[in-house]
């Protein structure tokens, strides 16, 4: 009993010292997390207020937040006598193994850096990546979030985004609406062209500077294919598409120009068919 009391008396100062350190470290980490969150929000709001790209603002805010947290953790380790230099050496030695284990995460991170650096798109752009089409809602350190046209949220890894083709449909201020239409072979070409020209010139939302074109595209199996091209502002694309398609159909009907259905004529020789005429 005396030995236990002596041992406790000997360990009491050390236990008290470590207890105070643990409480201090927990308090310091709590402060660090609060400060990191505040710095993240403050930096992000400041950059956005100065008209910095929202994606870059969010990215830099997240980067500052996690940098402060990592620095706080390393500082707290030194309180318990753990040298940060030796800890860094251990991290360096384990870096290869960690890198192999998290190569997907690291590739997503590096791809995120490339996205905010080269900016193939920004928040609010309508893009098509990895077979998904939607408006860019958020660009994070590891993933990019898209909101589809029917309002579904799609999360795409950044490495997948940068590893394939990116179609940015709102990058330019103008777009061209292309409408293909087939007309019968017995229709007069000059009359068809005039009808389509009149329609294209009167489409609401048409860009008068870029204008329109009517192209004789090809001669198909069942019809002659025309293409009506109308330039418009990007934000009016779908309205102009609808108006052009509607106008073409109504104008051809009014001019009594038919839009033939696909058809195929099959001729069977009598000898090959084995059938006698009635």
Among residues 72, 133, 140, which one has the least CA distance to residue 112? 140
Average pLDDT over residues 171-175: 93
What is the CB neighbour count within 10 angstroms for residue 111?
20
Contact 200, 212 (CB under 8 A): yes
Nearest-angstrom CA–CA distance, 107 and 104 = 5
DSSP H helices, the chain, are 2-49, 54-79, 84-101, 103-118, 158-162, 189-201, 237-254, 270-273
> What integer pLDDT is reported at residue 180 of this predicted model?
94
The overall pTM is greater than 0.75: no
Are both 94 and 13 inside the same structural domain?
A: yes
pLDDT digits (tens, 9 = 90+) for 232-263: 999 999 999 999 999 999 999 999 999 887 76
Q: What is the mean pLDDT of the chain?
A: 82
Maximum distance among all Cα pairs of the chain, rounded to whole angstroms: 126
Last residue of a domain, one of 136, 151, 168: 168
Are both 17 and 87 inside the same structural domain?
A: yes
Rg (CA), the chain: 34
Average pLDDT over residues 7-23: 61
> What integer pLDDT is reported at residue 82 of this predicted model?
59
- Strand pairing class (153-157; 166-168): unpaired
Are both 237 and 218 inside the same structural domain?
A: yes
Are both 200 and 249 inside the same structural domain?
A: yes
Give residues with Cβ within 8 angstroms of 259, minimum separation 6.
Answer: 181, 182, 183, 184, 223, 249, 252
Are both 76 and 136 inside the same structural domain?
A: no
Nearest-angstrom CA–CA distance, 219 and 101 = 57
Q: What are phi and psi of 38, to 5 degrees?
A: -65, -45
Contact 36, 68 (CB under 8 A): yes
Residue 4 domain flag: no
pLDDT digits (tens, 9 = 90+) for 133-167: 999 998 887 899 999 999 999 999 999 999 999 99
Are both 17 and 86 inside the same structural domain?
A: yes
For residue 57, give its domain range. Answer: 9-101
Are both 134 and 203 inside the same structural domain?
A: no
User: Which has more pLDDT, 219 or 57?
Assistant: 219
Most confident segment among 12-16, 46-50, 225-229: 225-229
pLDDT digits (tens, 9 = 90+) for 79-98: 666 555 555 555 565 555 55
Vertex 128: Cα angle to 127 and 129 (nearest 5): 115
Residue 106 domain flag: no
Are both 43 and 94 inside the same structural domain?
A: yes
The length of the chain in residues reads: 278
CATH code assigned at 129: 2.30.30.60
> What integer pLDDT is reported at residue 46 of this predicted model?
83
User: Which has more pLDDT, 235 or 25?
Assistant: 235
SS3 labels along 147-205 = EECCCCEEEEEHHHHHCCCEEECCCCCEEEEEEEEEECCCCCHHHHHHHHHHHHHCCCC
Contact 207, 241 (CB under 8 A): no
Tell me how far CA of residue 11 lies from CA of 7, 16, 25, 27, 219, in angstroms.
Answer: 6, 8, 21, 24, 96
Are both 13 and 62 inside the same structural domain?
A: yes
> How many folded domains does the chain comprise?
3
> What integer pLDDT is reported at residue 194 of this predicted model?
95
Residue 110 domain flag: no
Are both 132 and 183 inside the same structural domain?
A: no
Average pLDDT over residues 173-187: 93
Are both 178 and 149 inside the same structural domain?
A: no
CATH code assigned at 74: 1.10.287.1260
Residue 276 domain flag: no
């Amino acid at each position: 009993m005396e030995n236990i009391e002596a041992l406790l008396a000997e360990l009491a100062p050390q236990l008290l010292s470590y207890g105070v350190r643990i409480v201090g470290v927990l308090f310091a980490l709590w402060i660090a997390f609060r400060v990191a969150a505040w710095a993240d929000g403050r930096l992000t709001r400041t950059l956005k207020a100065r008209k910095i790209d929202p994606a870059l603002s969010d990215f830099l805010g997240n980067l500052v937040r996690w940098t402060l947290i990592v620095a706080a953790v390393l500082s707290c380790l030194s309180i318990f006598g753990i040298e940060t230099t030796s800890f860094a050496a251990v991290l360096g030695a384990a870096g290869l193994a960690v890198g192999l284990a998290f190569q997907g995460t690291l590739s997503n991170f590096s791809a995120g850096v490339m996205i905010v650096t080269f900016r193939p798109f920004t928040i609010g752009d309508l893009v098509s990546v990895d077979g998904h089409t939607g408006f860019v809602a958020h660009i994070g350190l590891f993933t990019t979030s898209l909101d589809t046209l029917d309002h579904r949220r799609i999360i795409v890894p950044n490495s997948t985004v940068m590893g394939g083709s990116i179609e940015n449909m709102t990058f330019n201020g103008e777009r061209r609406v292309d409408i293909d239409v087939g007309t019968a072979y017995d229709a007069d070409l000059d009359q068809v062209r005039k009808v389509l020209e009149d329609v294209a010139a009167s489409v609401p939302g048409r860009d008068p500077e870029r204008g329109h074109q009517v192209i004789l595209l090809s001669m198909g199996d069942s019809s002659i294919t025309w293409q009506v091209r109308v330039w418009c502002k990007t934000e009016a694309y779908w309205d102009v598409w609808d108006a052009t398609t509607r106008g073409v159909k109504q104008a051809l009907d009014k001019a009594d120009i038919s839009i033939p259905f696909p058809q195929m004529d099959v001729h069977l020789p009598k000898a090959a068919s084995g059938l006698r005429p009635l």
